[in-house]
Structure 1
């Protein structure tokens, strides 16, 4: 198996579920960060949101974003996929309503025309699992796998 293919399998194992990440966007020269629920599927992270939120407004004018959780980090291009009930979104909607089942319908109103899905198409990232680090260039489909031990000395923090 290629290192890139292995890295994708690990990515799916780690993040094909409800995960909270810090999402960074930018407006002009001012960055903005907030915590969002994400779900990884087929090369990108999905976010359920509202088109009038600051994050969506910012990514519409500057689509380059970053995601971070613990030492996991990714950069990518965000795309507003539009309303969940659009025909092109029905397949991912089925997955998102299942993975986000505890809160999806309690916090989202699909009757609201501004409800939307955002997809972050990945450019690069770093993550780790089982003593191995994965530094991945998704655009060129190249991964570097190396020994990695999550060991932060909290006495220096």
Structure 2
């Protein structure tokens, strides 16, 4: 198994098959007083699978409007010291037949609260997919970092 495959295995072990609370940052539609882009952050429950995080949300939310204008996103998972960049994509309605498999998986992983927070009958209830481009495992107390490039499928160890 090469370093990239090992990194994917570790990500699956840490984040797969469970509900993860991650912070995601998007670019706000409004700019700062100086005209600079502004970040906008929030926490979401997300499920990891094959180089992407998935969550359910509502198509008209501020984050989805921001992602429609600029799909770049940053995320972090503090407990495991993992940060990443990627891009967000609205996969559409949770009941769209093309989303059946991932929607079923999200309902299972988020079973404790899914029905209270989502209305699958509403076509605006959608799936957000965050495809990772670059990830960083940071081990600050050990002086080590592992950079995962999902585009080139490479891993670099530092420290």
TM-score above 0.5: yes
Cα deviation, 1:34-69, whole Å, max 9, x if unaligned, reads 011111011200011001111111001000000012
**Residue 83 of structure 1 corresponds to which residue in structure 2?**
93
**Residue 143 of structure 1 corresponds to which residue in structure 2?**
155
Separation in 2, partners of 1:58, 1:109: 22
Gaps of 5+ in 1: 148-157
Quickly say closer, same or farther: Cα 1:133–1:95, change in 2 above 3 A.
farther
2:108 aligned with 1:98:
yes
**Residue 72 of structure 2 corresponds to which residue in structure 1?**
64
Separation in 2, partners of 1:109, 1:33: 24
Report the secondary structure of 2:119's partner residue: coil
Q: Tell me if structure 1 keeps the 8 A contact 2:138–2:145.
A: yes
**Residue 5 of structure 2 corresponds to which residue in structure 1?**
5
Q: Tell me if structure 2 keeps the 8 A contact 1:80–1:116.
A: yes
Separation in 2, partners of 1:9, 1:128: 17
Q: Tell me if structure 2 keeps the 8 A contact 1:3–1:145.
A: no
Q: CA deviation at 1:27?
A: 2.3
Separation in 2, partners of 1:91, 1:114: 18
Report the secondary structure of 2:123's partner residue: coil
**Residue 27 of structure 1 corresponds to which residue in structure 2?**
28
| TM-score for the superposition, normalised by structure 2 | 0.86
CA RMSD of aligned residues (A): 1.7
Separation in 2, partners of 1:100, 1:145: 34
Cα deviation, 1:56-112, whole Å, max 9, x if unaligned, reads 110010000000122210100100000011111001011111111101111100111
Separation in 2, partners of 1:51, 1:93: 15
